[in-house]
């Protein structure tokens, strides 16, 4: 693989650079999303639809702890991108060392708390009735691997901040391929059930960590840190915290959303309705992978050029990223509107010897999920502006607007909607909350981003 310098972030044409950054990011997210998708298909076919619901209950807790690593990674990577753009290598090194120390301290503490309160957390997130026992099995095993996942998510953003998207892509592919391979061995061959599904995921995390550890020790990384760099530096920690809090707040709100959705849907239709949302949740992760890829590719370009005071390139990167993301979002929208029944059937076992309760659940899911999918993704073509706008403020180190725009969709609009609309519209009210929140959040983001471009970037570019 050819050696890539971070300097290219400030010199190559924006369109070409964004494709170079976004395509590997999209491929990595695609494989990672496929992993979640195929993992759910394996679990649904080899264990049962209740097992899919059990995993869906566990995800908010494990993802929140892992998101601590992502928050530290994205917060620190914004600093690293701008430091490299300003040719301040020492600050970049010190930031990376602080990221590692902080990730270990925070995630290990959170895992200990998560294991201690296991019997309270699972029911709180919707793990009730027949869902509780398989959810507890999966949760307990997964949590042991979460610190490694957090380090992987932190390290991946730093690799991207160095301008090396291909290595970041490989780091995302490795755990996905490893997980699916272990799924086959542990679930299908060894017949370990939920234990097998959990261990397969955990082994995938360990494989990813091994690769990222190798990358930073190799000649491919510009960030060669020494022992003093691991010592915590308060100004750097504050900057990491303020920017990383945006990502952490987003994941915290996502976890709260899962908690509310699982409980609301359980009350509306029991375990079967939670299984419907589990499939929708997988598609929310999988279907939008190219949009997230463009967003990930946009971050280091905007951050580097902002740090280098090349504001015209920052503006160009915003417009180009929105254009690319809107195009792929529209293609995703068309696919989901046309094939929701076929997508739903992938998650359900076609075996005729299933227990009666599984057959009833499958029939319910097949009836309800396609309609839910169409409503949930109804506003997909317009989300590009929402995602790129929030990402811009995080990339350039503006924590407060980044936080507010990140929380706009789920925190300010979606959560109130799902608490109100189901009381009047039942199940339909839950699904309608998704597109309404998307439209409102996109309007707010568009107004705020437009003001930023016309004032800060326009004035800076002209002076």
Query: pLDDT digits over 393-444, tens only?
Result: 888 878 788 888 888 888 899 999 999 999 999 889 999 999 999 999 999 9
Per-residue pLDDT of the chain in tens (463 residues, 90 and over written 9): 334 456 677 767 787 777 877 777 777 667 666 666 667 777 777 787 677 777 777 777 776 776 777 788 888 888 888 888 788 888 989 999 999 999 999 889 988 998 899 888 888 877 778 888 888 998 889 888 888 988 988 898 888 878 787 888 888 888 888 888 998 899 889 989 889 988 998 998 899 999 999 999 988 888 888 888 998 889 899 888 887 777 777 777 877 887 888 889 888 888 788 888 888 887 887 778 788 888 888 888 888 888 788 888 888 889 999 998 899 899 989 988 998 888 888 777 666 666 667 677 777 888 888 899 999 999 999 999 998 988 888 888 787 888 888 888 888 999 999 999 999 998 899 999 999 999 999 999 999 898 888 887 765 544 4
Region for residue 309 given its phi and psi (left: phi exceeds 0; alpha: psi -120 to 50; beta: otherwise)? left
Contacts of 231 (CB under 8 A, 6+ apart): 97, 98, 101
Q: Please state, as a whole number, how many other Cβ atoms lie within 10 Å of the Cβ of residue 290.
A: 22
- The residue extents of the domains of the chain are 13-232, 243-462
Instruction: Judge contact between 60 and 252, C-beta under 8 A.
Output: no
Whose tokens are 């009833």? That residue is 360
Instruction: Judge contact between 258 and 59, C-beta under 8 A.
Output: yes
Query: Rounded CA gap, 380 and 245, in Å?
Result: 26
Q: Please state, as a whole number, how many other Cβ atoms lie within 10 Å of the Cβ of residue 423.
A: 9
**Cα-to-chain-centroid distance, residue 25:** 12
Instruction: Judge contact between 156 and 171, C-beta under 8 A.
Output: yes
Query: Rounded CA gap, 156 and 176, in Å?
Result: 14
* b/e 142-167 (16+ beta carbons within 10 angstroms → b): bbebbbbbbbbbbbbbbbbbbbbbbb
- Least Cα distance to 348 among 37, 38, 41 occurs for 41
Classified as helix, coil or strand, 11 is coil
Query: Rounded CA gap, 90 and 136, in Å?
Result: 45
Instruction: Judge contact between 336 and 280, C-beta under 8 A.
Output: no
Within 47-164, where are the H helices? Answer: 49-85, 89-116, 118-124, 132-161
Tell me the pLDDT tens digit for each residue of 46-68: 787 677 777 777 777 776 776 77
Cα dihedral 370/201/126/191 (nearest 10): 90
Tokens coding 130:
């027949």
């Amino acid at each position: 693989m050819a050696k890539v310098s971070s300097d290219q972030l400030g010199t190559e044409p924006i369109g070409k650079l964004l494709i170079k950054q976004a395509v590997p990011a999209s491929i990595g997210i695609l494989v990672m999303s496929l992993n979640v998708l195929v993992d759910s298909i394996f679990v649904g076919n080899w264990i049962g639809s209740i097992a899919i619901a059990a995993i869906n209950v566990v995800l908010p807790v494990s993802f929140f702890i892992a998101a601590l690593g992502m928050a530290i990674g994205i917060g620190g990577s914004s600093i690293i991108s701008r430091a490299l753009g300003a040719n301040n290598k020492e600050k970049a090194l010190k930031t990376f060392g602080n990221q590692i120390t902080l990730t270990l301290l925070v995630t290990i503490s959170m895992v200990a708390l998560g294991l201690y309160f296991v019997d309270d957390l699972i029911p709180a997130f919707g793990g009730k009735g027949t869902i509780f026992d398989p959810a507890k099995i999966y949760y307990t095993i997964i949590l042991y691997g979460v610190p490694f996942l957090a380090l992987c998510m932190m390290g991946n953003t730093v690799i991207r901040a160095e301008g090396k998207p291909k290595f970041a892509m490989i780091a995302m592919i490795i755990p996905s391929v490893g997980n699916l391979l272990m799924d086959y061995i542990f679930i299908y061959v060894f017949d370990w059930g939920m234990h097998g599904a959990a261990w397969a995921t955990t082994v995938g995390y360990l494989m990813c960590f091994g690769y990222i550890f190798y990358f930073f020790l190799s000649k491919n990384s510009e960030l060669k840190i020494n022992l003093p760099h691991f010592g915590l530096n308060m100004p750097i920690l504050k900057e990491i915290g303020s920017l990383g809090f945006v990502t952490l707040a987003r994941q915290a709100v996502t976890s709260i959303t899962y908690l509310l959705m699982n409980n609301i849907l359980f009350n509306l239709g029991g375990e079967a309705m939670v299984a419907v949302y589990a499939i929708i949740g997988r598609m929310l992760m999988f279907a939008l992978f190219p949009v997230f890829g463009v967003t990930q590719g946009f971050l280091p370009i905007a951050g580097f050029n902002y740090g280098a005071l090349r504001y015209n390139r920052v503006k160009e990167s915003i417009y180009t990223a929105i254009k690319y993301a809107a195009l792929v979002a529209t293609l995703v929208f068309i696919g989901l509107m046309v094939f929701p029944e076929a997508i739903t059937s992938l998650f359900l076992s076609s075996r005729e010897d299933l227990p009666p309760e599984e057959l009833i659940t499958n029939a319910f899911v097949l009836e309800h999920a396609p309609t839910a999918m169409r409503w949930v993704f109804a506003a997909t073509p317009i989300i590009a502006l929402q995602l790129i706008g929030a990402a811009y403020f995080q990339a350039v180190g503006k924590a407060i607007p980044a936080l507010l725009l990140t929380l706009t969709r789920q925190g300010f609009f979606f959560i109130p909607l799902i608490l109100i609309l189901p009381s009047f519209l039942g199940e339909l009210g839950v699904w309608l909350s998704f597109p309404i929140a998307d439209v409102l959040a996109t309007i707010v983001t568009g107004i705020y981003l437009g003001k930023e471009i016309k004032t800060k970037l326009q004035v800076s570019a002209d002076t």
